[in-house]
Amino acid sequence: MISRYSRKELVKIWSEENKYKIWLDIEIAAAQAMEKYKIIPKGVSAVVRKKGKIKVNRIHNIEKKVKHDVIAFLTSITEQAGIKARYLHQGMTSSDVLDTSLNIQLIQSGEILLKDINKILLVLKKKAKKYKYTPCIGRSHGIHAEPITFGLKLASFYAEFKRNEKRLKDAIHEVSTCAISGAVGTYANIDPRIEIFTAKKLKLRPETISTQIIPRDRHAQYFTVLGIIAGSIERVSTEIRHLQRSEVYELQEYFSKDQKGSSAMPHKKNPILSENLTGLARMVRSYTIPALENIALWHERDISHSSVERNIGPDANITLDFALVRLANILDQMIIYPKKMLKNLNLTNGVVFSQEVMLKLTQKGISREVAYRKVQKIAKQSIDKNVDLLNLLIEDKEILKLVSEKELKKIFVYEKHFKNISRIFKRVFS
């Protein structure tokens, strides 16, 4: 976790203070359940709630001696709440607290990430509709292919982030479980009703079956979804970077009045924010592997996952939050150059219509293979000589025998490629 790439809201969620606050909420909720079912005396939870304060430094000092974080926490609370606090944690194991707490932190983070995604969706929807029919070249393998619109490109990003929104909601649901089941998940020393009560109090679901831990396939799904979202961020960022290249220059990241580009070359305006997002996306994706490896723990539990989650929990969520907010700002402020898009579209002298010419020839009775060879040859001439493809076709006697000049000219119209844009938009934005 680096402060440069962190926002306060997410940092707060993964702070020691918030973690211990959640631990206290879990212990109090479990105590309330035990009071309800007359397992411990009434009033324990109220005393602990009133007197138990989170003292991070004190917990750390105790932990230095006992070498156990949950015991250090409980000791600190007992120091403040008094003798009644001895009833806390009855029949529970550390993992009941740790795992339930981790899930709550993931939920808290996930809810903010959903808000971040929503911001991106709003910007993309607005921009896609604005540039719905703005012509630009579609590229395949980086090579000019056929005409599309810039709005269509943005609509594609919107659809992807809409899927990401659903994925994240599903992942949040997946980790919204609570385990208060004891040492190896058998409820030997704790009534299963405690778990049900506690889960409801914390707005969670009781874990279907736990060992000593909540199964890590749930968490693997969550972090994998974060990795997928990071991939989507990089996809958009890479597109922006390519389109800002000097020889393309169809759009540009916003460049403020006093902003500087290169330290050596005053003329430069570099896509530094998109490049930064590309790097951050790589970091978030890298956390998916250890999350997947955490699934296979020894028997009913070991702690090999613990050090992993202490790292990837805050880092993945905080980094992704920062990246999503940055992307939303880039998309909102980026400068679009429709004239340059049109210029680039015309750069290759109409060869982008080669498929339609070929298809027209097949409709006139010649084989696809022959039509392909013929059009390919003329298209190559167009590129090599920097001459309009349409003019070369009109000059070709064999072509004119099959297709009239009028028919050929009807092919070389960009708008024909946009006839189904509204249909696609309806599917995307409905």
- Give the pLDDT confidence score for residue 270 in this predicted structure: 86
pLDDT digits over 101-125, tens only?
A: 999 999 999 999 999 999 999 999 9
DSSP H helices in 334-387: 338-345, 354-363, 368-385
Q: What is the rounded CA–CA span in Å between residue 185 and residue 99?
A: 13
Q: Is 2 exposed, middle or buried (0-12, 13-18, 19+ CB in 10 A)?
A: exposed
Q: List strand residue ranges (DSSP E) for 72-191, in order.
A: 135-140, 143-149, 177-178
pLDDT digits over 120-175, tens only?
A: 999 999 999 999 999 999 999 999 999 999 999 999 999 999 999 999 999 999 99
Tokens of 360: 């027209």
pLDDT digits over 337-380, tens only?
A: 999 999 999 999 999 999 999 999 999 999 999 999 999 999 99
Other Cβ atoms less than 10 A from the Cβ of 247: the count is 6
Indicate the pLDDT class of residue 267, thresholds 50, 70 and 90.
confident
Facing residues of 149 across strands? Answer: 135
Distances from the Cα of 8 to the Cα of 2, 4, 5, 323, angstroms: 12, 11, 10, 14
Distances from the Cα of 38 to the Cα of 44, 77, 97, angstroms: 12, 22, 21
Q: What is the rounded CA–CA span in Å between residue 297 and residue 302?
A: 6
- Is 177 strand, coil or helix? strand
Tokens of 177: 């479980």
Residue 88 has what DSSP assignment? T
Q: Is 242 a catalytic residue?
A: no
The Cα angle at residue 186 between residues 180 and 189, in degrees rounded to 5: 70
- Give the pLDDT confidence score for residue 286 in this predicted structure: 97
Indicate the pLDDT class of residue 259, thresholds 50, 70 and 90.
confident
Portion of the chain with pLDDT greater than 70, in percent: 100
Facing residues of 252 across strands? Answer: 335
Whether the CB-CB separation of 45 and 32 falls below 8 Å is answered with: yes
Whether the CB-CB separation of 142 and 43 falls below 8 Å is answered with: no
Q: What is the rounded CA–CA span in Å between residue 111 and residue 227?
A: 16
Indicate the pLDDT class of residue 1, thresholds 50, 70 and 90.
low
Output the average pLDDT for the chain. Answer: 95
Q: Is 263 a catalytic residue?
A: no
Q: Domains plus CATH for the chain?
A: 14-87 (1.10.275.10), 94-256+264-343 (1.20.200.10), 351-411 (1.10.40.30)
Other Cβ atoms less than 10 A from the Cβ of 47: the count is 17
Portion of the chain with pLDDT greater than 90, in percent: 92
CA dihedral for 326, 331, 335, 341, sign (positive or negative): positive
Q: 297-312 burial, b if ≥16 CB within 10 A, otherwise e? A: beeebeeebbebbeeb
Task: Say whether pLDDT at 269 is over 90.
Answer: no
- Is 430 strand, coil or helix? coil
**Least-confidence region, from 160-164, 232-236, 299-303, 326-330:** 299-303
Phi, psi of 147 (to 5 degrees): -65, 140
Indicate the pLDDT class of residue 2, thresholds 50, 70 and 90.
confident
Whether the CB-CB separation of 253 and 244 falls below 8 Å is answered with: yes
Distance of CA 110 to the CA centre of its chain: 10
Of the residues 60, 68, 262, 367, only one is catalytic, namely 262
- Give the pLDDT confidence score for residue 262 in this predicted structure: 67
- Give the pLDDT confidence score for residue 261 in this predicted structure: 74
pLDDT digits over 67-83, tens only?
A: 999 999 999 999 999 98
CA dihedral for 149, 154, 158, 164, sign (positive or negative): positive
Of the residues 140, 141, 267, 299, only one is catalytic, namely 141
